[in-house]
Amino acid sequence: MSPRLELSRLSLNQITIDQCSLPEAIEACGRAGLTVIGPWRHKVAEVGVEPAARMIREAGLRVSSLCRGGFFPAADAPGRRAADEDNRRAVEEAATLGTDVLVLVCGPPIGRDVEAARAQILGGIERLVPHAEEQGVRLAIEPLHPMMISERSAIVTLGEANDLAERFDDTRVGVVVDAYHVWWDPRLYEEIARAGRRILGYHVADWLVPTTDRLQGRGMMGTGVIDLKRIRAAVEEAGYDGPIEVEVINRDAWERSVDDIVAEACEAFLAAS
Amino acid sequence: MSPRLELSRLSLNQITIDQCSLPEAIEACGRAGLTVIGPWRHKVAEVGVEPAARMIREAGLRVSSLCRGGFFPAADAPGRRAADEDNRRAVEEAATLGTDVLVLVCGPPIGRDVEAARAQILGGIERLVPHAEEQGVRLAIEPLHPMMISERSAIVTLGEANDLAERFDDTRVGVVVDAYHVWWDPRLYEEIARAGRRILGYHVADWLVPTTDRLQGRGMMGTGVIDLKRIRAAVEEAGYDGPIEVEVINRDAWERSVDDIVAEACEAFLAAS
């Protein structure tokens, strides 16, 4: 069993309180005594990258990662170029925001060819790495649950993310372990150990039974069936001791009081992560 | 590319027309010129096993497999004994119905311990094999999509099903490849090849985008994004040339005309499987 968690390791992934703008999320973190945040790009864009970076800094917050680059597969060359350009901007935004981790949600296949998508993802990462290196940003491939393959990511297992990451220097490309996305995998613990120092982020949420919304139906830690304490122990055993992002994507929560959600997140983080 | 399919290889999995009783499903097969059926136990139970076997035989149908045994994990010893007894009956029902394939949907974990569930599943199969052997019935482990782990099966990859099956003689325990459950897997084709003669059944349906019902939202072949022709080619390359079950679990279809659904299934089978 890993040591008891401290709130200082909690990073509030902004989508947990998606009803907030970035300034509102920063304030909510402040009221709750949180010191780390995981912003999303579309929220950053609403205020501008430089102002966002300043607000975060002035509030005394750190950024654990920027969500997200990726979405590499495209139907044609102009589509690929647009994805490349967007990813280069994402790298620069991460650097401006003061984080060295850009999360990659790699994008769904175009049509039926999953292998072609995987090849395009590899190509996209290869083209992005030099710019990321220049900017001092590491790329963190996040495998998503296989039920999200057609909307979000052709990369659906940690093994596959490790295979991809291992094609690059381990100071440049790594993985995000999100318990919600990988907990079902019979190879989970060996792949966490294999990832080792390539683990650039650890995310938590819980799997509700039943899961009534396939994309936005996650539970707070402790309300579902994921063995979060065991997974955290494995991630820490593999060498990761950075922030843990609470990323509870739940449509119902977005209708509720932000301070209530943040308070629940803190309590669930300490008790059940 | 595999040879063009013939309707003689189509087995109508009964849940595709779940609005029907077994006698009604048998009649629907007859009207459509189908010769193979995949019954479910609760439908067989409604008429009794012996009468069901007689009706199927007298209609000139064959049974590709019986769905389903399994659900091994249990909270306590009485629960495990009840599962064992039910599985022994399932084996006997398969034999009576004239099929030598019993599909195993292995059951969800109890609580958070997925590995304990997997160990209980192995134990349950070990206890069932001698009786199955005596009855001339082979056990076919069906890995289910990881999004169904908490309702249906702790066995969620073909690799894991192969690992389990390989603990037994290949004339006794094998696997079912259901395209809907396994298509997302980066290791799919190597695991199909590995399964080889252990493939005891092949099921088809399609993955709709978006998938609006996590458990009962499958599409007819050709309406989604699964590369069904490639998967069939791999299954046939691995040596399987038996019936192909059309198992389209779709809540909306159950409100429609049975003959329409069966006609669609036949057309989609020939055109897109």
Q: Is A46 on the interface with B (CB under 8 A)?
A: no
Q: Is A116 on the interface with B (CB under 8 A)?
A: no
Residues B9 and B30 sit within 8 Å (Cβ to Cβ): no
Token pair belonging to A160 = 């596959």
Picking from B147, B207, B227, the nearest residue to A145 by CB comes out as B147
Percentage, residues of chain B above pLDDT 70:
99
Residue type at A170 in one-letter notation: D
- pLDDT tens for A53-94 read 999 999 999 999 999 999 999 999 999 999 999 999 999 999
Residues of chain A contacting residue B211, judged by C-beta atoms under 8 Å apart: 147, 150, 214
Q: What is the DSSP letter of B7?
A: G
Question: B150, B158, B215: which is closest to A180 by C-alpha?
Answer: B150
Q: Is B118 on the interface with A (CB under 8 A)?
A: yes
Contact B146 A114 (CB under 8 A): no
Helix (H, G, I), strand (E, B) or coil at A107: strand
Q: Is B116 on the interface with A (CB under 8 A)?
A: no
- pLDDT tens for B202-249 read 999 999 999 999 999 999 999 999 999 999 999 999 999 999 999 999
Q: Is A182 on the interface with B (CB under 8 A)?
A: no
Question: B208, B205, B182, B203: which is closest to B194 by C-alpha?
Answer: B182
DSSP states along B128-163: HHHHHHHHT-EEEE----GGGTTTTBS--SHHHHHH
Residues of chain A contacting residue B111, judged by C-beta atoms under 8 Å apart: 225
Min Cα separation A243/chain B (Å): 24
pLDDT at residue number B4: 83
Q: Is B179 on the interface with A (CB under 8 A)?
A: no
ipTM higher than threshold 0.85: yes
Residues B55 and B92 sit within 8 Å (Cβ to Cβ): no
Cis peptide bond N-terminal to A51, omega within 30: no
Buried b (16+ CB within 10 A) or exposed e, A43-69: bbeebebeebbebbeeeebebbbbbbb
The residue to which tokens 């989609």 are assigned: B268
pLDDT at residue number B1: 54
- pLDDT tens for B121-164 read 999 999 999 999 999 999 999 999 999 999 999 999 999 999 99
Min Cα separation A61/chain B (Å): 34
pTM of the predicted model, to two decimals? 0.97
Residues B76 and B51 sit within 8 Å (Cβ to Cβ): no
Residues of chain A contacting residue B165, judged by C-beta atoms under 8 Å apart: none
Rounded to an integer, what distance in angstroms lies between the CA atom of residue B90 and that of residue B95? 9
Min Cα separation B224/chain A (Å): 8
Strands A138-141 and B138-141, by their bridges, are: unpaired
Contact A109 B225 (CB under 8 A): yes
Q: Identify the H or E element spanning A173.
A: strand A173-178
Q: Is B152 on the interface with A (CB under 8 A)?
A: no
DSSP states along A25-65: HHHHHHHHT--EEE-BHHHHHHH-HHHHHHHHHHTT-EE--
pLDDT at residue number A4: 83
